[in-house]
A and B are shown apart, each in its own frame.
Chain A
């Protein structure tokens, strides 16, 4: 938080003559008798100002000159304080032409595994977590999924070794190995989306934000509302390296693109048209789609994966070095007791390890979780596990 000092500075004639207005997206967060904390909801930046400065700020709710507000007699004294507020970005020159910063990210109440915020350490992170609670690519309620995954992930606290200052990772009791040791994770909050926006605007924001946030070798973990978001992540990752996409989902591709927006049913067909995407394999289907698939798209059913081994999945991938993993949680059978129709968490995890053993995983998307459904809390912890296993495989390969 910045401390805004509004002590008097030399007055300036130009300050007194111009009109000023409170910066957009500014919100009062807290106050007492002496101070106020204001937050810029577009950037997340906070500033603590004296209550006197805040009162001054609030008088510029519409564009006004200093003399409009303070009168000619106090104009000189007030102008220096106004200039201090302008310098701190709290007050804007109403005459100056500048585009209002659109909110690029929206704070999330929880951070994945309680890892540090991107603003604190993101520039050097190995993994950048981004929430995209967009779910208009399907008909299910997935927008609460990213929040539920982050909340449940607090069971797996990210810790940094006090002496080495390196992330400690976690001990995988089943495999008897430590995972993600030394891998720096940063959580970059959520992408906001406004109802009524066209999908392509939201997806462009995702691509721009990931481009801006990701360090050169950083791996994105995108917690998405629904699987359509994988299209945007594929566009970002394919802009860096040609790649293939392995899309775990319960249902195969639709017969053809359904409309102007990407849906959970046709995301595979949409992704194959992204520049730099060589192939898309939909894995874990409960039933084959039955449609003729265009070149570059293939399907591997859950039964085939279970009966053979995950190597069958890898055989469908060209020798492309880079793979984006898109995990729609619908691929996991959450019936109780398990009916065996979908894939178990272990089967998905095994498949991820097999892919990671032969290809470089450059991004991970986890989507399609509705925490309000029965088994939602179990699916959420399962999603956390899959995400961490996928990141383990991705960062192992990268380090190697």
Chain B
């Protein structure tokens, strides 16, 4: 793994210094191959780690395995396969993957690994449903990644939170496995209602596209949509989820430092990761 030049997330030890088992294993994915809108998400891992230096050490334990190597010169499928390998290694070592993207297409890799071990649900914080049509042989991107994830046999539930804006069709109904909570509905969603949407017999993977948050709070992202959620709302949801469900992995993606203002988006992303790590 790469990443020696960056500070580790929350000052956790690097993979080479860690023993086996327990807590999170941070994996950075400096790749934006799956984002057709704008370059820049590849700089997310370094920026989020830097922003996290200002935060206290969370209660949960963890290690930082650095970045997936060679992303810059790899094809998209190679990036996914290397991330899947890194996820496998982390899971076999007894860790839960805590991934810093990169664009949202990368989430397919850790979810595909985790759903092979045990049935899981996926919570998808995002302004978009990422449910564009996809056919076998078509290129993989951040626009259809959730549609592909939903078809994985071990993924039993999908909870999409944050859909909003003007879209071609009504995307509130994504199939039998999925529930969509629009950004507007999320403002009124209670903790009990949130957990009721997440069966407790499943393990859960939490994926956070930073564009779920209102762009006037988190402008550093490539496809901002007005009228998003407050950062505090997402933090509260995360605290409820990590407290009430078994979270087997998580990611924060689509932070684009190139479009950011004073690194405020990276700071919000770091705080979201901290909320997950502190709650477990």
Contacts and interface: CB of A to CB of B under 8 A. Distances in A.
Interface of A: 155-157, 159, 168, 170-174, 176, 178-179, 333-338, 344-346, 374-375, 377-378, 381-382, 385, 388
Contacts of A385: 165-166, 226
Nearest to B215: A378
Instruction: Give the top 9 A-B pairs by smallest Cβ distance, nearest first.
Output: A170-B166, A378-B215, A374-B261, A171-B170, A174-B184, A345-B226, A173-B164, A378-B219, A338-B216
B224 to A, nearest CB: 5
B225 to A, nearest CB: 7
Contacts of A170: 166-168
Contact of A377 (B165, B172, B183, B259): B259
Given A174-B227, A377-B259, A159 B168 contact: yes
Given A374-B261, A385-B166, 8 more contacts: A173-B172, A173-B182, A174-B165, A174-B182, A344-B216, A346-B226, A377-B219, A377-B224
B39 interface: no
A338 B262 CA distance: 14
Nearest to A334: B216
A335 B184 CA distance: 22
A388 B166 contact: yes
A346 B216 contact: no
B274 interface: no
A179 B259 CA distance: 30
B166 A337 contact: no
Interface string B153-187: 00000000001111111111000000000111000
Q: Which of A179, A346, A375 has the most CB of B within 10 A?
A: A375
27 contacts: A155-B223, A170-B167, A171-B168, A173-B165, A173-B167, A173-B183, A174-B182, A176-B182, A336-B217, A336-B261, A337-B216, A337-B217, A338-B217, A344-B216, A345-B226, A345-B227, A346-B226, A374-B219, A375-B216, A375-B261, A378-B216, A378-B224, A378-B226, A381-B224, A381-B225, A382-B226, A388-B166
Contacts of B169: 171
B264 interface: yes
B192 to A, nearest CB: 23
Nearest to A381: B224
B226 A381 contact: yes
Nearest to B166: A170
A155 B219 CA distance: 17
Interface residues of B, number: 26
Nearest to A386: B226
A171 B167 contact: yes
**SS of B interface (majority):** loop
Contacts of A334: 216
Contacts of B226: 345-346, 378, 381-382, 385
B159 to A, nearest CB: 16
A374 B223 CA distance: 15
A381 B215 CA distance: 10
Interface in B175-227: 182-184, 215-217, 219, 223-227
Q: Which of B182, B261, B262 has the most CB of A within 10 A?
A: B261
A173 B219 contact: no
A157 B168 contact: yes
Contacts of A171: 166-171
A176 B224 CA distance: 20
Contacts of B224: 377-378, 381
Contacts of A345: 216, 226-227
A375 B265 CA distance: 12
Contacts of B165: 172-174, 385
A279 B252 CA distance: 50
Nearest to A335: B216
Contacts of A155: 223
Contacts of A179: 166
Q: Most chain-B CB neighbours within 10 Å: which of A157, A336, A375?
A: A336
Contacts of B163: 173
Contacts of A174: 164-165, 182-184, 227
B153 to A, nearest CB: 29
Contacts of A337: 216-217, 264
A156 B182 CA distance: 18
A338 B223 CA distance: 19
Nearest to A156: B166
Nearest to B219: A378
A155 B167 CA distance: 9
